[in-house]
Structure 1
Amino acid sequence: MTSNFTFLAAEFPTVHEAAVEAERQAGVSPTAAAFFAGKTVELAVKWAFLNDPGLKLPYQDNIAALLHEPSFRRAAGEAVFAKAKFINTLRNRAVHEEKTIRPGDAAGAVKELFHVCFWLARTYARKAKPADGLAFDPSVLARRDETLKKAFAHLKAQQAELDAKNGELTKLLSDRQNLDAELRRLRAEVAAARHAAEAMPSTHDYNEAETRDRFIDLLLREAGWALDRSEDTEFRVEGMPNEQGIGFVDYVLWGADGKPLGLVEAKRTRKDARQGQQQAKLYADRLEARYGQRPVIFYSNGYEHWIWDDVRYPPRQIGGFYKRDELELLVQRRTSRRKLAETKLNTKIAGDKRPYQQRAIRAIAKAFEDETERKALLVMATGSGKTRTVIALVDLLMRAGWVKRILFLADRVALVNQAAGAFKAHLPDSAPVNLVTERSSEGRVFLSTYPTMMNLIDGRQEGKAKFGSGHFDLIVIDEAHRSVYQRYRAIFEYFDSFLVGLTATPKDEIDKNTYSLFDLEDGVPTDAYSLEEAVADGHLVPPVAISVPLKIVRSGLRYDDLSEEEKDQWDMLEWGEDEIPDTVEAAEVNKRLFNQDTVDQVIAHLMQNGLKVEGGDRLGKTIIFAKNQAHAVYIELGSTRPIRRLLDTSPASSPMRAAPTRRR
């Protein structure tokens, strides 16, 4: 039987096989079609990364990371990237989340797959390339042959096989010097084929408008908008400043009272979504004139989305669309929220006898209210009451009607538990929910680790997102720093909320990228209360430094001074291309070596000279600073190996890799 994917067979047989199966299943099983379309994309993208030396592997080689790798997005172009992302999203809904796939979505995925596969063959085929005029034949999807509907268990098993292969690509390409001759030859041919293809502009019609509409439809339905009435899409408005005086709003998001809560203006995928801003404003003007309520404006090109509540704020990029209740609350707040400057602080929570806490809260409130900022960074010395200060801020914003639901994020479960206890003690009416242990509870303040929240964002319930982009009105980041944003930036890109960062790092030691995250000038946080100020005010005591008299950290290591066992360990270390040295200078000790005796001596010194509590029977609360994560683990586990090389698994060149952390 004729297939739309015949052009793949000669040079991309595995991709061809999966694509044909997606095509055959489209008329029989939408779920199976979605799975095989996603499988085809994964095989195609991994083929490209394996064989194209111009593509750089990201921090991990699962399909989501590969798709978003900048070198791939540049090579594929935004149109193909958007199509591949849509297909992968639909596959995840079908298999990972076990959601019902609509027949139209499955057929659309196969059609989008045709364009992704066309790009693959046109770019990388070394023999016959498909002609730019090649078009998709939808009639093939309507044909029925002897195809059997694939059992869902079979699809799950195939998905598990694909997932199990994540990491193989990285291993294969990690040692580029030892690639086998056949792969090196193929990579050279593929690079030449890509160069030749890119030298000739493509006239292929990728039908970007359909991709945009499918993606926007999918995201809106996930946000709970049914889009099943004629007035939901292509809604006619009159009084437009054009010759006919008529316009058609792409999507109108209606409230239960029949008034428009929002509108969505869709632009062609290749265009910047912001090009729809003025058109959307004109539509909002006409809807407001007709219904007496100004809708919140959204504009999107399918993969970039912007929100513009032009009554209060300039446009800002978001990760998706608001749910109905979230939009209703946003519109209601235009008239219901009170002035923060005129709302009293609850000094029983913070500020009583500590005026710097009141100052910090008022500084954030001023930034939000007078300067219409949506982000703030609070720098406060450890022990000066960051958590109580932010609880008092939450109380102020709640009572003034600015926020309803708050998300508090920390990088460790212990810190989440500690913050949850503080909210229960000082603001019990907020009904704090610890999402690490209470996934289904209802409340107003939710506390979570970053990985837990990432999983909850990705999850779906009955085809709808658990949290809409507007679910949280305020997000608080405990110990805000650049690495948190890099590793978990999807959280901050998805939610449209006020953002408050807390840190004890001195303001002159915070890197400029952290300041830029909060839209602040370098070295100028929203408010700061330093250790020196806290000591001067009598709220904290100054630290006392104690010198630890260890020869190794002062003089380094000499091979001749080591025991025979230690010398064997020394000889086994990977010293790189240099000769094995006879000495390691003091400055290099922590950089290159661990020494068990050094760790033991430092711990013994701490136990003997550290702060004692409970009548001297126990060591008081103490922080031990390690070089990085590997060093911290070595100290914690008490390795029996006398000497061990310090391996850095967090290269700066991989921003999404876990950054070194300090264990306490």
Structure 2
Amino acid sequence: MTATANQNPEQIARDRIDQMLMDAGWLVQDKSKVNLSAGLGIAVREYQTDIGPADYVLFVNRKPVGVIEAKREESGEKLTVVEDQSTQYANASLKYNLNKEPLPFVYESTGVITRFTDYRDPKPRSRPVFHFHQPQTLLDWFDKSETLRARLRKMPTLPETGLRPAQIKAINNLENSFKENRPKALIQMATGAGKTFTACTFAYRLLKHVDAKRILFLVDTKNLGEQAEQEFLKYQPVDDNRKFTELYNVQRLSSSYIATDSQVCISTIQRLYSILKGQELDEEVEKENPNEKGWNWQKKEPLPVEYTSKNPIEQFDFIIIDEAHRSIYNLWKQVLDYFDAFLIGLTATPDKRTFGFFNQNVVSEYTYEDSVSDGVNVPYDVFTIETEISKKGSKIEAKTEQFIEKRDKQSRKQRWERLDEDFEYTPNKLDKDVVNPNQIRTIIQAFKKALPTIFPDRFDEKGEFEVPKTLIFAKTDSHADDIINMVREEFGEGNDFCKKLTYKIEEDPKSVLNRFRNSWAPRIAVTVDMIATGTDVKPLEVLLFMRDVKSINYFEQMKGRGTRTINFDDLQKVTRTAKHTKTHFVIVDAVGATKSKKTDSRPLERKPGTPLKDLLGAVAMGAQDEDLFTSLANRLIRLDKQLTEREKTELLKLTNGKALNTISKELLEAYDPDTASQIEEDTQKGYAGSSPDEIGKALNKAMEQKRNEATKVFTGELNEYIENVRKVHDQVIDTINQDKVISAEWDSFTTDKAKDVVKEFSAYIEAHKDEITALSIFYDQAYNRRALSYHMIKELMEKLKREKPLLAPHYVWEAYNQLENIKENSPKNELVALVSLIRKVSGIDNELTPYHKTVDKNFQDWVFKQNAGKHNKFTPDQMEWLRMMKDHIANSFHVEVDDLDYTPFDAKGGRGKMWALFGEETDNVIIELNQNLTA
């Protein structure tokens, strides 16, 4: 707002406050012209009290409800210092008013900074607010017997049914934070630990028990918004047989319209920012994470959001910020500062800024390591693939008559060009400016070759290997296409085996994702960024990194795709050769992603090297910085000179006939001094006789309109076209240099992890050897092992799963394999694997040997002794029966006479046939087999 030098600072503040009140729906009146019937909310200036005139007294529905203490901005007075003064007016007796009750709603304001206190709150505490509340809001609050903060103190005990311990802790601590009137709270919860379910639970409790008016669930991608909506749709409270959406209205915002009866709103932060700016938003902008894509243009003076009566500051009581580590900075912080609401952050990977923003009020810390220890998530191992070209790059030497292949990035059309000089490329140019098909093929070949080593138990009855569900992270869309072609070729499979998962595919990406999650095919999915975060694909067991990332938060989110647990039956539905439940996942690192230097966050600074995509994203989000407009205009001017006629024609279709040079000119004119002078002159004429403040506001509005006109052409479709067409049109295809594998092996750090797993398993077995029947038998004399039964081992397995879910037998077996190079694969049956491990730990076996192999050897020794002794030689029929009993012991650890009545013995004649073959020796044979085969 413009002011002349001789204006009174206090009057400037009053003028601003007047305007704010009017914007919020108040009628501002002088004390000499009071008409309390003129509207719902009346703000009376200089209203007389028994201690002097109050700057403003607020009346709603003719009743006095609050006061405003006005202070000049330039005085430097801190508003908290004048709280006693404003409280005195609130407690004073008002002239002509018989009601002697203190006024509950008290503001202190300079017109720039405003603080508010509701003195009916328990331990009333002032808080900063962006603007004044609307009259209807104060009336609603005034008519309630208790305030929101008072109601928060009376929340009932949380029912713990269906909640994990970490979720219970998070909700209880969050509700305690509310009771203490702490404005911000952060829930740190590992990916896969149920953050959204936790949010649904406490949102339900806030709506039911606290009578919250509206809750906002804020995300930063459309994908996350859709997932949150699905969570609310399927959420059913434990104390009601109806679904959440049958009890409360849930609206996912797809326009600027927010329904008055919505109790939960789900929105991207980009859309909400646009709503507060009064601008429409292209849905394309919501598809990608703005923090990673550079839309947080760091401007000299961030264009602030402005108050809008359609979306008052009290529109939401609570704001849940999903993935809070990336949604609370730069442009986005203004959205959060705008609303007078409690802020609850959800994140798996907070950084220092996140903790700072939430005032270090971390109500729950549940790390990935915690979730793994509890069996909520699974751990991971790292297998590295290193090739020469991936590590060092390469060089195409110029030779006489040397031609190289080039490919158009967009159309993928190929052509040949003469190479006049050596073409050298570094690893970071791969799959962007240059493509070496053999380098991609070499990695895929090494990956295919390593899979049986990584998952040695995934062979079917025919000896064919089944590829685990695998997600490959590619650098670009073009890179993804190259990978898909190589995967299909090298694995000898068709189109369904490997699919691309991005928003740009012709197939419905949700349909492909659902098939990847729930069906056998595709086995491998390749993505650039669509499911880097927030997408639940539980059967995933392999993440193949063929792109690196520099943000530690983003990397952790990408890793999180593999952490989900899944029960055995569900895993086997999509992976038929799975022999046990998912115990871990494997990162196959082909680019050094697990070892490259990572930063806490990706700073986005204004500099000449800012990618064009970041500039386009910034204007699409409404940023209007002069440097931004100038930088983008200059880039477009250069691009216009590079475009072919066909490309210019295509571009005109997307701009309603505007050429790039016209668009560039409009961007430059938006901050051109001559243009600004002309707009100012026109505004002065149009507002002749108006106050300087009114003229200033009109001028600002006209300038903003000019800038909006310059940027409204930048839709998601146009931005994508410019981004693709402006890149180096051609990629060099290096078909000359052949790549080769330097190493393909388990990462060295997993050796330490393997030692820890083996040590923990041994300690657990040793600690329980006296209290668990099965273990006491192993540690007792060999003679007693004949009493070991299937039920005893089953009981031990169930106890192990409950208390130490990470110590799954197959996982422990792999740990031993890394340390001792075990000759045999883990037995298919996890109970058999467990017995094998216990025999190793208890000292019965010197080497880890599959139990069925031990039984086989002991059986051979026993038969040899029997044939050489009193039995002379067993008949073929007798040997068939003995082998059946041997196999039964190998899988069930014990055989009894009653077992002969069941499969497979019953099909061969059961106990009657046994007696016919062995006669009176039957019982002795069974006793000897149990005793000798389990030795």
**Normalised-by-shorter TM-score class:** 0.5 to 0.7
Counterpart selection for 1:265 from 63, 69, 81: 69
SS at structure 1 position matched to 2:111: coil
Confirm or deny: 8 A CA contact 2:114 2:128 kept in the other structure. Answer: yes
Confirm or deny: 8 A CA contact 2:152 2:175 kept in the other structure. Answer: no
The 1:487–1:550 alpha-carbon spacing in structure 2 relative to 1, beyond 3 Å, is: farther
Q: Partner of 2:358 in structure 1?
A: 518
Q: How many Å apart are 1:517 and its aligned residue? A: 0.9
Q: Partner of 2:560 in structure 1?
A: none
Q: How many Å apart are 1:402 and its aligned residue? A: 5.8
Output aligned runs, 1:350-429, within 5 Å.
Answer: 352-369=162-179, 371-401=180-210, 403-426=212-235, 427-428=244-245, 429=247
Confirm or deny: 8 A CA contact 1:266 1:276 kept in the other structure. Answer: no
Once residues 422 and 8 of structure 2 are traced to their aligned partners in structure 1, the CA distance between those partners, rounded to angstroms, is 63
Once residues 210 and 234 of structure 1 are traced to their aligned partners in structure 2, the CA distance between those partners, rounded to angstroms, is 12
Q: Partner of 2:109 in structure 1?
A: 300
Q: Partner of 1:128 in structure 2?
A: none
Q: Partner of 2:253 in structure 1?
A: 435
Confirm or deny: 8 A CA contact 2:219 2:269 kept in the other structure. Answer: yes
TM-score (norm 1): 0.54
Counterpart code for 1:391:
C
Q: Partner of 1:284 in structure 2?
A: 90
SS at structure 2 position matched to 1:220: helix
Q: Partner of 1:213 in structure 2?
A: 14
Once residues 55 and 126 of structure 2 are traced to their aligned partners in structure 1, the CA distance between those partners, rounded to angstroms, is 19
Confirm or deny: 8 A CA contact 2:9 2:72 kept in the other structure. Answer: yes
| Structure 1: unaligned runs, 5 residues or longer | 1-82, 85-111, 116-203, 241-246, 570-579, 633-649, 660-664
Residue 475, structure 1, aligned to residue 280, structure 2: no
The 1:464–1:511 alpha-carbon spacing in structure 2 relative to 1, beyond 3 Å, is: closer
Residue 225, structure 1, aligned to residue 26, structure 2: yes
Once residues 421 and 278 of structure 1 are traced to their aligned partners in structure 2, the CA distance between those partners, rounded to angstroms, is 49
Confirm or deny: 8 A CA contact 2:250 2:264 kept in the other structure. Answer: yes
Q: How many Å apart are 1:546 and its aligned residue? A: 4.1
The 1:497–1:464 alpha-carbon spacing in structure 2 relative to 1, beyond 3 Å, is: closer
Once residues 422 and 188 of structure 2 are traced to their aligned partners in structure 1, the CA distance between those partners, rounded to angstroms, is 44
Q: How many Å apart are 1:472 and its aligned residue? A: 0.8
Q: Partner of 1:574 in structure 2?
A: none
Greater length-normalized contact order (CA 8 Å, ≥ 6 residues apart): 2
Once residues 116 and 267 of structure 2 are traced to their aligned partners in structure 1, the CA distance between those partners, rounded to angstroms, is 26
Quote the sequence identity (%). Answer: 27
Q: How many Å apart are 1:437 and its aligned residue? A: 4.8
Q: How many Å apart are 1:257 and its aligned residue? A: 5.8
SS at structure 1 position matched to 2:254: coil
Confirm or deny: 8 A CA contact 2:155 2:210 kept in the other structure. Answer: no
Once residues 127 and 216 of structure 2 are traced to their aligned partners in structure 1, the CA distance between those partners, rounded to angstroms, is 20
Once residues 430 and 395 of structure 1 are traced to their aligned partners in structure 2, the CA distance between those partners, rounded to angstroms, is 9
Q: Please list the CA deviations of residues 36-57 of structure 1 after superposition, one character each: whole Å capped at 9, or x if unmatched.
A: xxxxxxxxxxxxxxxxxxxxxx
Once residues 524 and 203 of structure 2 are traced to their aligned partners in structure 1, the CA distance between those partners, rounded to angstroms, is 35
Q: Please list the CA deviations of residues 158-186 of structure 1 after superposition, one character each: whole Å capped at 9, or x if unmatched.
A: xxxxxxxxxxxxxxxxxxxxxxxxxxxxx
Q: Partner of 1:252 in structure 2?
A: 57
Output aligned runs, 1:484-633, within 5 Å.
Answer: 484-505=328-349, 510-520=350-360, 525-558=362-395, 560=397, 565=404, 595=435, 597=437, 598=440, 599=479, 614-619=519-524, 623=531
Counterpart selection for 1:315 from 95, 113, 126: 126
Confirm or deny: 8 A CA contact 1:364 1:526 kept in the other structure. Answer: yes
SS at structure 2 position matched to 1:379: strand
Once residues 402 and 209 of structure 1 are traced to their aligned partners in structure 2, the CA distance between those partners, rounded to angstroms, is 40
Once residues 438 and 482 of structure 1 are traced to their aligned partners in structure 2, the CA distance between those partners, rounded to angstroms, is 23
Higher radius of gyration, 1 or 2: 2
Q: Please list the CA deviations of residues 583-619 of structure 1 after superposition, one character each: whole Å capped at 9, or x if unmatched.
A: 6665x66899775745356556777699886224443
Q: Please list the CA deviations of residues 443-473 of structure 1 after superposition, one character each: whole Å capped at 9, or x if unmatched.
A: 111111112212322449xx96112112210
Q: Please list the CA deviations of residues 255-277 of structure 1 after superposition, one character each: whole Å capped at 9, or x if unmatched.
A: 326131x3221111313461543
Q: Matched residue pairs, number? A: 411
SS at structure 1 position matched to 2:382: coil
SS at structure 2 position matched to 1:547: strand
Q: How many Å apart are 1:532 and its aligned residue? A: 2.1
The 1:386–1:594 alpha-carbon spacing in structure 2 relative to 1, beyond 3 Å, is: farther
Q: How many Å apart are 1:237 and its aligned residue? A: 4.0
Q: Partner of 1:40 in structure 2?
A: none
Once residues 396 and 327 of structure 1 are traced to their aligned partners in structure 2, the CA distance between those partners, rounded to angstroms, is 24
Output aligned runs, 1:238-249, within 5 Å.
Answer: 238-240=49-51, 247-249=52-54
Confirm or deny: 8 A CA contact 2:67 2:103 kept in the other structure. Answer: no
Once residues 250 and 238 of structure 1 are traced to their aligned partners in structure 2, the CA distance between those partners, rounded to angstroms, is 10
Once residues 172 and 313 of structure 2 are traced to their aligned partners in structure 1, the CA distance between those partners, rounded to angstroms, is 27
Confirm or deny: 8 A CA contact 1:346 1:396 kept in the other structure. Answer: no
The 1:475–1:568 alpha-carbon spacing in structure 2 relative to 1, beyond 3 Å, is: closer
SS at structure 2 position matched to 1:259: strand
SS at structure 2 position matched to 1:320: coil
The 1:413–1:561 alpha-carbon spacing in structure 2 relative to 1, beyond 3 Å, is: farther
Q: How many Å apart are 1:208 and its aligned residue? A: 2.9
TM-score (norm 2): 0.39
Once residues 552 and 412 of structure 1 are traced to their aligned partners in structure 2, the CA distance between those partners, rounded to angstroms, is 35
The 1:564–1:551 alpha-carbon spacing in structure 2 relative to 1, beyond 3 Å, is: farther
SS at structure 1 position matched to 2:520: coil
Q: Partner of 1:653 in structure 2?
A: 605
Residue 343, structure 1, aligned to residue 152, structure 2: no
The 1:345–1:593 alpha-carbon spacing in structure 2 relative to 1, beyond 3 Å, is: farther
Q: Partner of 2:638 in structure 1?
A: none
Once residues 213 and 430 of structure 1 are traced to their aligned partners in structure 2, the CA distance between those partners, rounded to angstroms, is 42
Confirm or deny: 8 A CA contact 1:281 1:297 kept in the other structure. Answer: yes
The 1:237–1:559 alpha-carbon spacing in structure 2 relative to 1, beyond 3 Å, is: farther
Once residues 258 and 342 of structure 2 are traced to their aligned partners in structure 1, the CA distance between those partners, rounded to angstroms, is 24
Once residues 604 and 431 of structure 2 are traced to their aligned partners in structure 1, the CA distance between those partners, rounded to angstroms, is 15
Q: How many Å apart are 1:482 and its aligned residue? A: 4.8
| Structure 2: unaligned runs, 5 residues or longer | 35-42, 236-243, 280-306, 409-420, 441-478, 492-496, 499-515, 533-544, 555-601, 608-613, 619-935
Confirm or deny: 8 A CA contact 2:47 2:56 kept in the other structure. Answer: no
Confirm or deny: 8 A CA contact 1:259 1:293 kept in the other structure. Answer: no
Output aligned runs, 1:173-212, within 5 Å.
Answer: 204-212=5-13
Once residues 115 and 139 of structure 2 are traced to their aligned partners in structure 1, the CA distance between those partners, rounded to angstroms, is 18
Confirm or deny: 8 A CA contact 2:321 2:327 kept in the other structure. Answer: no
Counterpart code for 2:366:
Y
Once residues 550 and 380 of structure 2 are traced to their aligned partners in structure 1, the CA distance between those partners, rounded to angstroms, is 24
Higher mean Cα deviation, 485-494 or 436-445? Answer: 436-445
Once residues 201 and 517 of structure 2 are traced to their aligned partners in structure 1, the CA distance between those partners, rounded to angstroms, is 33
Once residues 614 and 220 of structure 1 are traced to their aligned partners in structure 2, the CA distance between those partners, rounded to angstroms, is 59
Q: Please list the CA deviations of residues 125-170 of structure 1 after superposition, one character each: whole Å capped at 9, or x if unmatched.
A: xxxxxxxxxxxxxxxxxxxxxxxxxxxxxxxxxxxxxxxxxxxxxx
Counterpart selection for 1:449 from 235, 248, 268: 268
